Amino acid sequence: MFEEKKAEWLRIAESLKPALHRETVRPVSGMPDHALTENESIVLDFGTHFVGHFTLKLSAQGSHPDAPAWLAVKFCENARELNETLDGYTGWISKGWVQQEQAHIDVLPAAVSFPRRYAFRFVKIDVLALSSKYRLVIEEASAQAVTAADDRVPAPLTGDQRDIAIDRVALRTLRNCMQDFFEDGPKRDRRLWLGDLRLQALTNSVTYRHFDLVKRCLYLFAATADRDGRIAACLFTEPAVEADDTYMFDYSLFFIQTLSQYVQASGDRATGSDLLPLALRQLALAEAQFDPEAQLIRDSGRLGWCFVDWALPLNKQFCAQAIWIACAQAAYEMQADPALKEKIRLRREAARKHWYDPARRLFVSGAQRQVSWASQVWAVLSGIAEGADAAACLDAAAACPEAIPMVTPYMMHHYVEALCRVGRKAQARQVIRTYWGGMVDQGADTFWELYNPDNPDESPYGSPVVNSFCHAWSCTPAWFLRSGMLEENA
Amino acid sequence: MFEEKKAEWLRIAESLKPALHRETVRPVSGMPDHALTENESIVLDFGTHFVGHFTLKLSAQGSHPDAPAWLAVKFCENARELNETLDGYTGWISKGWVQQEQAHIDVLPAAVSFPRRYAFRFVKIDVLALSSKYRLVIEEASAQAVTAADDRVPAPLTGDQRDIAIDRVALRTLRNCMQDFFEDGPKRDRRLWLGDLRLQALTNSVTYRHFDLVKRCLYLFAATADRDGRIAACLFTEPAVEADDTYMFDYSLFFIQTLSQYVQASGDRATGSDLLPLALRQLALAEAQFDPEAQLIRDSGRLGWCFVDWALPLNKQFCAQAIWIACAQAAYEMQADPALKEKIRLRREAARKHWYDPARRLFVSGAQRQVSWASQVWAVLSGIAEGADAAACLDAAAACPEAIPMVTPYMMHHYVEALCRVGRKAQARQVIRTYWGGMVDQGADTFWELYNPDNPDESPYGSPVVNSFCHAWSCTPAWFLRSGMLEENA
């Protein structure tokens, strides 16, 4: 499906490739005041988080160098990474993501440009070898920082100092993920994921307002839909634009919300019309997961990967139903189809009937009737939970110690949104101040992919060494703080 | 001294910068027949020793790569190096010389050109990281081999098969050291050393006959003499031509022999005339080391570094005297100065009188009257040992178990030359077949910097991992085999 459209969609996407803003930045501290000897280490601190290309200007002191200088250079997004090593790493995500290089410099003086793009605040340099005849002088260290974001666009936030601090970190997170496309994280995966794009686009609409970059990403996803019209969870742009072979139930559906939100924010109805049939196709493809009699997601085992959150024990049967409804609602708002409206109504009703536990006033999921925060959040966001039941189910999760907790800023975003939806504005603001503010308290320059206040070393990948500390899906406090939705009368 | 000449000398040297011959070479074995997974290792064998630039063409099999490929690549001159590591390395020469790199490849397929020039036969590739979603395909591995030598120039050697095999390895050693100048070793130090140049020029004169390259090197040394006219032991050409701050009593004097031999072999008398005053200056500078009454080197402690051989316990007082005489003799042959002739005579006589042990029929050195092979060899080469005493002192060293042995091919060269000088042609040939032939038997493609038949792991640097296995000073069997000096009636 849509095969005849894809070449044109790709052309549109490529025509919107952004020009990157470039800025030369230098360390604010850590530059050595002496020439280095073998086995010395230094840590350069660039003051905040950057994405870019790193260059060292080196010279020698003493005799003419009679052996190469051998350096190990490690780029760290935050200070904790400086002391982490790959020794004994057994995580399941590739350790190739850890930003460490080695270089031999045969001739000094030299300007050594490191070969890749790095995401970092700190650069650790270990002098692995010199010779006894010379010492190494770091004449200059600099980075060419890149971003597609224009820092002049977002208006300064006013008001509470803590909110301003959180907003600043949120903006930096988003801007450093804004490159050739909206990356999920500039350290890792450096890739366009639909789940991240959706939240980036939201935040972009009230900050950098780089709507062409959102449009480019929507068309990249459109151009790489499979033969059935199914949109991939993520895609690559190098060496050529290509969908990853990863499909997620929820991420494909989120194309609808992302498109809808883009059209509303940008006013670009032409793109809305062009991509609406593809958006609706995602709803249709999800039909295979429903029992047409019961109007319920049949079996979470058949769903494939439905992400929701990085909580492995989480049963996703209820959330899948809710996400379908939320996305169907977004589709209905783009094109008022009475049949779709009826289907949404039936599926909300079925979900309430089947998954609501009236005694505990919350929603459960799966054969084990599992209780989770995620189910309550999505019950609210999908409109399955109505009236007083909506706020009540959120309270019920909080009162239920065995409820599967939320583990990512991505899931926390949905929780804050649900709080706003049920009118708990002050509580929503408090969650932002506590959760994202907690990262700020720990010195974050950008918001992290993962943050568990009780266990800062938590990683879904087996080791925090591969965690991303500037991650798109964590940037939404700026959206909450700037969209007005935290205001009591909004 | 000579300050007014140096700019012109440098200009001449730079005008003789050679064009390098380039050849694309590929592994003869080791190319994997399957796509590699994380933690796999391969060893590419290029069939013989090359110097050049290495490129890998890589692609991916499986899903689109979702993480960088991280490779460790090690370039080894011989197979033994493949299994050596730097763990616990405590040698005093920089471990920066070990030819190992790491690379992260973000996008596949890719052509990855490694950044430096390497000396290698084997290339070991360790796949440090991929991801579970793809395997790495080595589509192509190749090197751009470089040398200033023209392989078409040396005539094929005929005769004994063992000699032919030794000659082939000697030629390869020399050619791979012939780059922008005569390097001592293309792995290490990649530098112009006078002691190596002297033997390279000798061998070059009967093989590649690249006289301009010798002339270039002579002028490089001339242009970098210090304010007293003293010629350095070695020099650098990058980032600019500059003498190393290392001076050796013997190496400075060898400028004379190198110049003399170059003029004889090339017929370039103009260069001989231009550089003769500088050559003579080396003799004059050495005068400070002589007691003018006794006509003897006063004190080996005042000599600074007089190399002779990598034998730390070797006392060099006698050898220094002999090397001065040998070089003065070469100067006299370029310009017949009766006063110099008389000085040579006096110093030979003084050496015989003071250092000869008539009971043992050999020469001793230093206050402890140390016996060494080196002293006998230089007694012969300097003409200190005369007539039957010359052969006899070599025999006496062989019969003296406590004689300090020879440890480098460089010293062995002088031993073979001394055997020829005393008419022991068959024995000289036998030493070549045994000593250099021993390296051939161990699979050498090029001759090594160090070779002790009794201890192949010997290194003067604390570890064989930094030894050079293609080393200029070991190339002289081709000179012996091709110059005719091994012939009985030569």
B7 falls within a domain = no
B489 falls within a domain = no
How many structural domains is chain B composed of? 2
Q: Which residue in the block uniquely carries the two structure tokens 């996008």?
A: B107
Q: Are the CB atoms for A125 and A112 separated by under 8 Å?
A: no
Please report, as a single letter, which amino acid is at residue A288: A
Percent of chain B predicted with pLDDT > 90: 93
- What is the C-alpha separation between B403 and B390, in angstroms, rounded? 17
Q: What is the CATH number of the domain that holds B318?
A: 1.50.10.10
Cα–Cα separations (whole angstroms), residue B134 to A246, A435, B73, B131: 13, 37, 20, 6
- What is the C-alpha separation between A144 and A24, in angstroms, rounded? 5
B6 falls within a domain = no
Q: Are residues B75 and B170 in the same domain?
A: no
Instruction: Name the closest residue on chain A to residue B64, using Cα atoms.
Output: A244
Which structural domain, as residue segments, surrounds residue B298?
A: 161-483
pLDDT of residue B350: 98
Residues of A in contact with B75 (CB under 8 A): none
- What is the C-alpha separation between B93 and B314, in angstroms, rounded? 21
Q: Report the sign of the C-alpha dihedral through residues B380, B386, B392, B393, in that order.
A: negative
Q: Are residues A253 and A288 in the same domain?
A: yes
Q: Are residues B116 and B175 in the same domain?
A: no
Please report, as a single letter, which amino acid is at residue B336: A
Q: What is the pLDDT averaged over residues B427-449?
A: 97
pLDDT of residue A490: 63
- What is the C-alpha separation between A244 and A236, in angstroms, rounded? 7
Buried b (16+ CB within 10 A) or exposed e, A37-46: ebeeebebbb
Six-digit token string for A74: 């490690």
Q: pLDDT tens, B164-212?
A: 999 999 999 999 999 999 999 999 999 999 999 999 999 999 999 999 9
Q: Are residues B195 and B290 in the same domain?
A: yes
Q: Report the sign of the C-alpha dihedral through residues A307, A308, A312, A317, in that order.
A: negative
Residues with Cβ within 8 Å of residue B267, at least 6 apart in sequence: none
Q: Are the CB atoms for A401 and A344 separated by under 8 Å?
A: no
Phi, psi of A49 (to 5 degrees): -85, 135
State pTM to two decimals: 0.96
Six-digit token string for B339: 């006063």
Q: Are residues A448 and A367 in the same domain?
A: yes
A82 falls within a domain = yes
Distance of CA B206 to the CA centre of its chain: 17
| B110 membership: H or E segment, kind and range | strand B110-113
B326 falls within a domain = yes
Last residue of a domain, one of A118, A147, A176: A147
pLDDT of residue B174: 98
Quick check: helix, strand or coil at residue A444? coil
- What is the C-alpha separation between B115 and A103, in angstroms, rounded? 9
Q: pLDDT tens, A312-360?
A: 899 999 999 999 999 999 999 999 999 999 999 999 999 999 999 999 9
B333 — pLDDT class (breaks 50, 70, 90): very high
B490 — pLDDT class (breaks 50, 70, 90): low
Q: Is the peptide bond before A453 cis (omega within 30 degrees of 0)?
A: no
Q: What is the CATH number of the domain that holds B39?
A: 2.60.120.260
Q: Are residues A110 and A229 in the same domain?
A: no
Q: Are residues B169 and B132 in the same domain?
A: no
B17 falls within a domain = no
The partner residues of A266 in beta bridges, in order of sequence, read: none
B488 falls within a domain = no
CB contact under 8 Å between B93 and A189, yes or no, is no
- What is the C-alpha separation between A452 and A29, in angstroms, rounded? 30
Closest Cα in chain A, distance from residue B272 (Å): 30
CB contact under 8 Å between A68 and B96, yes or no, is yes
Of residues A94, A128, A244, nearest to B129 (C-beta):
A94
Phi, psi of A290 (to 5 degrees): -100, 145
Q: Are residues B95 and B118 in the same domain?
A: yes
Please report, as a single letter, which amino acid is at residue A441: D
Percent of chain A predicted with pLDDT > 70: 100
Q: Are residues A258 and A172 in the same domain?
A: yes
- What is the C-alpha separation between A344 and A175, in angstroms, rounded? 36
Residues of B in contact with A113 (CB under 8 A): none
Quick check: helix, strand or coil at residue A100? strand
Residues of B in contact with A67 (CB under 8 A): 93-94, 96-97, 188-189
How large is the ipTM? 0.96
CB contact under 8 Å between A107 and B64, yes or no, is no
Q: Are residues B381 and B266 in the same domain?
A: yes
Q: Which residue in the block uniquely carries the two structure tokens 């310009």?
A: B335
B152 falls within a domain = no
The mean pLDDT value of chain B amounts to: 96
Q: Are the CB atoms for A177 and A452 separated by under 8 Å?
A: no
Last residue of a domain, one of B147, B175, B190: B147
Six-digit token string for B252: 């400075």
Q: Are residues B70 and B189 in the same domain?
A: no
Q: pLDDT tens, B233-244?
A: 999 999 999 999
Residues of B in contact with A104 (CB under 8 A): 96, 101, 115-116
Residues with Cβ within 8 Å of residue B240, at least 6 apart in sequence: none
Q: Which residue in the block uniquely carries the two structure tokens 């197979």?
A: B79
Last residue of a domain, one of A86, A117, A147: A147
Q: pLDDT tens, B73-124?
A: 999 999 989 998 898 898 889 999 999 999 999 999 999 999 999 999 999 9
pLDDT of residue B301: 76
Q: Are residues B169 and B278 in the same domain?
A: yes
Please report, as a single letter, which amino acid is at residue A284: A
Q: Are the CB atoms for A50 and A423 separated by under 8 Å?
A: no
CB pairs under 8 A between A and B: 97
A280 — pLDDT class (breaks 50, 70, 90): very high
pLDDT of residue B277: 98
Is the model's pLDDT at B264 over the cut of 90? yes
Rounded to the nearest 10°, the torsion over CA A405, A409, A412, A414 is -120
Residues in chain B, how many? 490
